Amino acid sequence: MNIEIDSSDTLMTVLSFPPTMLGGNCVRDSTQNNEEAVVAVVEFLSAFTLFLMILTAFMSLAQLELGSNDPYSDLIDRSAVDGLDRLTNGEGWFVPYNDGVRDQANSTKDWHQIPVVDLYSGVLQPGIVSNGILDLERVQALSNVTIEAMTGGLGLSDELQVRLLIQVENSNNSERVGEVLFDGGSDRSTATTSSVASRSFISGSEVISVSLEVHDGGKAPKVLRITEISPRPSGGSPEWIEIQNYNGFALSLKGWSFERSGTSGSSDYLYKEGVVPGGGLVLFSGDPDSQVKGNASVVYDLGSTGFLGVGSVSGLDDNSGRLRLLFAEEDEGEGTQVCRIDWDPATGILLDNTLIWNGGPPNQAGSWNLSDSPTPGEV
């Protein structure tokens, strides 16, 4: 419809139109939309911030971190966590071998009561917690477990090594704080990557920590040492050799050998089985039945092989001789000398005299002292 009006009427007519006819509501809608957009952005940022806080807390609890991780480091981290979980989540178990086959019928959870020699001849899953409580008898029995049995039982790959430390963190008895209940394994000084998982237990009035370190360093050093020998016993007593294990874990005798020489010739004996408990003493005797054993954990027979003598039969020379302890890995042709003891008439060995290691380099003559008080099985 065309309406002709003059300019003054037009101005007045337009000014008299309702606001909706001029788009005034559009201006108000635009302002309202802007305000709603700002509110939406603020609400989004608040929700996103809360989400990040929750995610960060979750990742921390899961012992993870944001960002990319090295898969190899993750493997070692997970090995430490899983290994500690296996060790501290139950009592463990032991399955003996019978003619080379696992004897499931005679499996037992009381692995800590199995003699050290028998424990080596089977499959072990070590566990040190009974009914949710740290079992100190099982902790003490860890010295009967070899490093190989420990790493295998914890499910670790062959190239990884362990160090296990159990100690008193808190106690009403101040003298007990820091006391080490067990310490064994290999040092991480040669490792490129390592990880430690720890867990604390309340035991009576004490807090005891269990820390398992997994690393890719070298294997634990073979720290068997001859500590005393008796080459000239009296009264029909047997000759004997005393050896101590300076690692907390038990060590297999596989690969270890003795070599002796004297005026009557030389002989050697290679061990293919047997074990020395962690921190323990063992005796090698010409006659285990008559041997005074003291606190020795095990007495091994070297009389039936003729390596050691008893009574009038001598293995070690009475006056001039040499005894060596050697170790060889499976792929080594010759063993590495670990200990060497030499004696001659100038040494002055009389009946019932022994040679005792004084703590010096075990291959040097000055590291051995003459004693007139034999102490088999005693440090």
Asked if the model's pLDDT at residue 343 lies above 90, the reply is yes
6/82 Cα distance (integer angstroms): 94
112/95 Cα distance (integer angstroms): 12
| Pairing mode, strands 275-276 and 251-252 | antiparallel
Least confident of 17-31, 228-242, 296-310: 17-31
Q: Which of 62, 32, 123, 358 is nearest to 226 (CA)?
A: 358
Which tokens sit at 379? Answer: 């440090």
281/293 Cα distance (integer angstroms): 10
31/339 Cα distance (integer angstroms): 93
pLDDT, residue 363, reads: 92
Please provide the DSSP assignment of 24-50 as one string.
HHHHHHHHHHHHHHHHHHHHHHHHHHH
Predicted TM-score (pTM) of the model is 0.76
Instruction: Name the DSSP class of 377.
Output: T
44, 153, 213, 223, 337 from 161: Cα distances, Å: 49, 13, 8, 16, 24
Which tokens sit at 47? Answer: 């929700």
Asked if residues 276 and 245 have their Cβ atoms less than 8 Å apart, the reply is yes
23/344: higher pLDDT: 344
27, 31, 45, 50 from 38: Cα distances, Å: 17, 11, 11, 18
Instruction: Parse the chain into domains and list their residue ranges.
Output: 9-61, 71-215, 224-371
Asked if residues 155 and 145 have their Cβ atoms less than 8 Å apart, the reply is no
Q: Which fold has domain 224-371?
A: Immunoglobulin-like (2.60.40)
Residue 356: strand pairing partners: 228, 369
Which tokens sit at 73? Answer: 């480091």
pLDDT, residue 20, reads: 47
pLDDT, residue 38, reads: 72
For the chain, what is the mean pLDDT? 87
Instruction: Name the DSSP class of 137.
Output: H
314/71 Cα distance (integer angstroms): 60
| Pairing mode, strands 133-134 and 161-170 | unpaired
13/31: higher pLDDT: 31
165-220: pLDDT as tens digits: 999 999 999 999 999 999 999 888 888 999 999 999 999 999 999 999 999 987 76
215-259: pLDDT as tens digits: 998 776 678 999 999 999 998 999 999 999 999 999 999 999 999
pLDDT, residue 48, reads: 84
Asked if the model's pLDDT at residue 89 lies above 50, the reply is yes
Tracing tokens 């993870």 back to the chain, one arrives at: 64
Instruction: Name the DSSP class of 335.
Output: P
Which tokens sit at 354? Answer: 């022994």
131/119 Cα distance (integer angstroms): 23
| Integer-rounded Cα radius of gyration of the chain | 37
